[in-house]
Structure 1
Amino acid sequence: MNARLDEIAAWRPAPSGGLESAANEYGSPTVIHRTPSRLVEECEIAFDAGLLLAALSLVVTIPDVCAKAVGMKYTDWCVKYLDLPNTGEKMNAERKDEKSQDEISDELDGITARGAFTASDLYQLRCAVVHAGSSVIEGKGKDYSPYKVIGVCVQGDECGIVASYGHTGVGAENLKACAYDCVIKLEGLISRMAKGVVSFLEEDPERDCERGIKTGIDRRGVTDFRPLSRISYTLKKWLDF
């Protein structure tokens, strides 16, 4: 463990730019803008490279960027472009710690009817990931999700978002320590997000930009001042060919 932490602390940045910087033969500064399409692209690249935590952090924040561009709420954007259901109802009863088997049966039917994974659930997962680096659903908006935890898995299949959902509890007829939980597929969420962003941008291609300020120095994007590596430039020329 100590060796791994020492290795993390000893990280040094690569001295030369990567493939994106190779767009300019002379190594002039390259600006990577935080556009919706670029965020999706980097999310997919991160997933394929095995950087699952990076991919998860990106995919749950993409609706923030898109919704802000058109003055929508996060959940409303997810309903319209990700085709996620959302009733907006509170789920206080579902979060109680003690339940009977009958209550659990009725509430599971209600969860199924509302949608096993809704726009509200995605927003609560987003808050957990961004603010706490976890899957625990707590805080101001927790009452809008029946789940005390929303897990994330990878199954190798991009079809569908929900991998499983159900409940846990201790006891027989009357259960204590009850909790509903859901597990979603990261690749399914990324696939749905990519399609949603494409639909969003097809309505108006001008949306594929990063917000800036009207006056003053434009600080949009990340500017890469590193010189190009010969390998990166050669690879770029080969790909173009």
Structure 2
Amino acid sequence: MVIPKRVDTSLTGRIDDLEKAFAAGAYLSAISLALTIPDICGDRLYPERKNETRRRYVDWFNAYVAFNYLDKKSLVTNGAITTSKYYFSGEDCYQLRCVYLHQGINATDPKPGKTSYNLIQFRVFSSGPGSCDHIGETTLVAAGKTTRQVDLDLMKFIRCLKSGVEQFLREYPQMNADNGSGNYLYGPVLDFENGRELP
């Protein structure tokens, strides 16, 4: 008989799995998992806001990740940001999460107060010190339509998300809990392949 190994579904376990997916070149899986982490964190931080999925997601992302995507036009006074504009905010990430996880696409529907991008795309580069995010616009003169696109370095996105989760857990260490079923045999994933054989 084999006793299965339970897969760690805590926040740190999920970040570890995310990094493994990226390292293995499983980019679609890495993006899917990355886009769910603000959902989990927002749900844990704001449990009283059960019917406000979007708001919880956006608020958590803006508090812990968005500052990594600060627009160069933001105003900094005495080393502090006095007015900020993120080129990739919680609203942008939430809109991507919705279309990517539910429709399998990265073309968002720009609306006032939500994302201004028609397309949000990740790029993967060889490992190195820099990253390359890019914002572009294409105007189809005949149609009179402008398409906005942001391209994000996937490795940077994962690093920023990991850093945000680490900060979140320093402030709220109890939020790291593996919130799977309390019964060992009904956890989200039981790994029989790497389990332990009973004598």
Q: How many residues align?
A: 176
Quick check: 1:71 aligned with 2:46?
yes
Q: Which 5+ residue runs of structure 1 have no aligned equivalent?
A: 1-25, 87-108, 231-241
Summarize the Cα distance change of 1:189–1:85 in structure 2 as closer, same or farther, 3 Å threshold.
Answer: closer
Conserved 8 A contact 1:33-1:221: no
Distance in 2, Cα, partners of 1:121 & 1:158? 26
Conserved 8 A contact 2:136-2:149: yes
1:125 Cα shift?
1.1
**Equivalent in the alignment of 2:22:** 47
**Equivalent in the alignment of 1:120:** 91
Quick check: 1:210 aligned with 2:191?
no
Conserved 8 A contact 1:165-1:183: yes
**Equivalent in the alignment of 2:124:** 154
Find 2:133's aligned residue among 153, 163, 177: 163
Counterpart amino acid of residue 88 in structure 2? F
Conserved 8 A contact 1:158-1:187: no
Higher helix share: 1
Find 2:152's aligned residue among 178, 181, 184: 184
1:175 Cα shift?
6.9
Instruction: Tell me the TM-score normalised to structure 2 length.
Output: 0.75
Quick check: 1:133 aligned with 2:116?
no
Give CA deviations for 1:79-119 in whole Å, capped at 9, x if unaligned.
Answer: 11114489xxxxxxxxxxxxxxxxxxxxxx89xx7321111
Counterpart amino acid of residue 96 in structure 2? L
Summarize the Cα distance change of 1:154–1:85 in structure 2 as closer, same or farther, 3 Å threshold.
Answer: closer
Q: Which 5+ residue runs of structure 2 have no aligned equivalent?
A: 48-55, 75-83
Distance in 1, Cα, partners of 2:27 & 2:62? 25
Give CA deviations for 1:179-200 in whole Å, capped at 9, x if unaligned.
Answer: 1111111111000011111111
1:74 Cα shift?
0.5
**Equivalent in the alignment of 2:12:** 37
Quick check: 1:82 aligned with 2:65?
yes
Summarize the Cα distance change of 1:33–1:44 in structure 2 as closer, same or farther, 3 Å threshold.
Answer: same
Instruction: Tell me the TM-score normalised to structure 1 length.
Output: 0.63
Counterpart amino acid of residue 12 in structure 2? S
Higher strand share: 2
